[in-house]
């Protein structure tokens, strides 16, 4: 990581800003039932939140026709009610307020559909903190974490390649799963993983930093951004 102070913070959404598991898992189970797949156990549920849903369906060995029908069923459920089966984690607002007070720009980079991400953040009055909310495209062509990170960077006036080369100042990503680490790491961006999300214990070993609480995250980001504002 560059010695330059961090001057942009990217946030994941699910498991980082909000606890969206209830709606996501209900939609996931609904989608599997729609295509005639038997219910799955907690071991599968533990890995559902975070990665692109279409990739999760494929990992279960569904045919491409089943994958597409499951995706449609999931989207229909989530659009109807799943997005609201959600809550903001304790301390998140204080983290965002501290960064805004310090003059540090923020953006969201999530593998969730961009429309849903914006709807959720607006519903919880969190959208106001972010320069841009980047998510997956409706057709699924942009869903990899590295792609949504690149979109977030470009929409706030940077390019992913310049960021990777260290030419536009330092960026940090805050997430909860190892796919956040690998997606941001594709562009050379270090990652803070939060303990309150959906990541397994071993995933935190891949992160540059790991924090247990929102207060710890606020303190870490303050130290990383202290000379940027």
Query: What is d(CA 175, CA 223) in angstroms, rounded to the nearest whole number?
Result: 18
Q: Please confirm, yes or no, whether 12 is among the known catalytic residues.
A: yes
Q: Which DSSP symbol is given to 167?
A: -
Kindly state the greatest CA–CA separation across the chain: 56
Tokens of 30: 């609904």
Helices (H), the chain: 21-34, 42-45, 53-59, 64-80, 92-101, 114-123, 145-155, 160-164, 178-185, 214-225
The residue annotated as part of the active site, out of 12, 19, 178, 180, is: 12
Q: Cα–Cα distance between 136 and 118 in angstroms, integer?
A: 11
Residues designated catalytic: 12
């Amino acid at each position: 990581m560059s010695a330059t102070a961090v001057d942009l913070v990217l946030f994941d959404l699910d498991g980082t800003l909000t606890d969206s598991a209830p709606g996501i898992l209900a939609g996931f189970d609904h989608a599997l039932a729609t295509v005639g797949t038997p219910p799955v156990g907690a071991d599968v549920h533990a890995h559902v939140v975070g990665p692109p849903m279409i990739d999760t369906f494929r990992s279960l060995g569904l045919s491409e026709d089943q994958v597409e029908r499951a995706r449609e069923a999931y989207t229909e459920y989530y659009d109807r009610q799943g997005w609201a089966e959600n809550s903001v984690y304790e301390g998140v607002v204080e983290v965002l307020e501290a960064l805004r007070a310090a003059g540090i720009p923020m953006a969201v980079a999530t593998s969730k559909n961009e429309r849903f991400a914006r709807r959720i953040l607006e519903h919880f009055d969190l959208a106001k903190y972010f320069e841009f909310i980047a998510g997956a495209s409706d057709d699924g062509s942009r869903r990899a974490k590295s792609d949504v990170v690149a979109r977030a960077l470009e929409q706030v006036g940077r390019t992913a390649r310049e960021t990777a080369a260290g030419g536009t100042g330092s960026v940090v990503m805050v997430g909860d799963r190892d796919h956040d680490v690998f997606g941001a790491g594709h562009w050379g961006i270090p990652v803070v993983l939060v303990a309150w999300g959906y990541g397994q214990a071993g995933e935190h070993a891949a992160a540059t930093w790991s924090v247990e609480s929102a207060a710890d995250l606020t303190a870490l980001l303050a130290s990383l951004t202290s000379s940027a504002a």
